[in-house]
Structure 1
Amino acid sequence: MAKSVADLVDLTVLALLAERPCHPYEMQRLIRQRRKEHAAGSPRGLYRAVERLERDGLIEPAETSRAGNRPERTVYRITAEGLERFQDQLDDLLSVPDTDQPTFATAVALLAHLSPESAARNLETRAVLLEGQIAEMAAQLVGLGRQLHRVLLVELEYTLTLRRAELHWVRALLADLTDGALGWDPVAIRSAPVPAPGPDAESGGPMT
């Protein structure tokens, strides 16, 4: 099951506190330093995550300090329950493929509602944008590779691999669309009869 944005921000906070106790400002600094802003949301979202996790007993205040006229800063630490929750969630995210339908997959499923010309134009635009994203990420990977340990960059490696695979698929689909191999007739596609469900459809699997 896909995680919500709030779930992922909570997970990020738990991950940082699993390393060592720190206050929210320090968490933000580490997130920026490691280029993980996308996983932590806005600063306000991070503070809300801290409030949720404290309320649920997954983190707790370790100490409170004040420097000069600055507001008090509370240093938080992860609880035993929080550490167990973090490890269980991370195990689940790493081991179980996400079944949530990506936005692009939904758009592709509705492709027959466009004319072939419109579909080709939009796919060509997507391919150009993907090429730009790939070039930018590849440059980032080289630059950050000189500063950060590779384990902190595997997420960027993964995203770059997905973008390259998507570009390859989009270009192949465009070629089939352009040379007629796709056999696109939107009206015929939309009016085609829907196949009747198989005998095992209600059971959700093959009959034994």
Structure 2
Amino acid sequence: MARRPDLVGLTVLAMLSVRPAHPYELHRFIVDTHKDYVTGLPRSLYHAVEKLAGEELIVPVETSREGRRPERTIYEITDEGRQELATRLRRLLETPDAERRTFTAAVSLMGALPVSDALQALRTRAASIEGALVGLNAHMKALQDSGLPDVLTVELDYERTLSEAELAWIGRLVARLESGELTWSGTVNEGLLAQVLGTS
């Protein structure tokens, strides 16, 4: 059984690629920007931070305390963390998965990649979906030719419809990126992140 991608850890790496922050700030950003694919908050976030720190993908850089509040540790991403972020994100963007939440997360964070890398990953994904659709259409035709009632293959038609819709959406996204209509400076929406995290 394939290991499920760590979407919480991926999100932490993407946010820390913009600037150092402490877990409470990251939690606020996830909630305020409706990253609804991140579940189990706040426990999952603190667990992800602890795991990433243990793998030295992020490191603590400062601990502060305001009044009687608990200490807050600020983390920053390491060079290894940046490489891991890029590798994980490219893989999730380019590899179709039955769990559509994974692609939602990858698209949500693709601003952490250079535009050229995101484009290449999306084109790879589109090619994979096109290949899968050719196979699915052939399989459905063979079932129909065998005389199998359509009602027994309706789930295949549903899967085909979802794949066709995703393929069309990717095509529009690629066109926006190629035309320059959609672009970014290489990190997750910096302005929004700075606004939500503030200056603390």
Q: TM-score, normalised by structure 1?
A: 0.46
TM-score, L = length of structure 2: 0.48
Rg larger in structure: 1
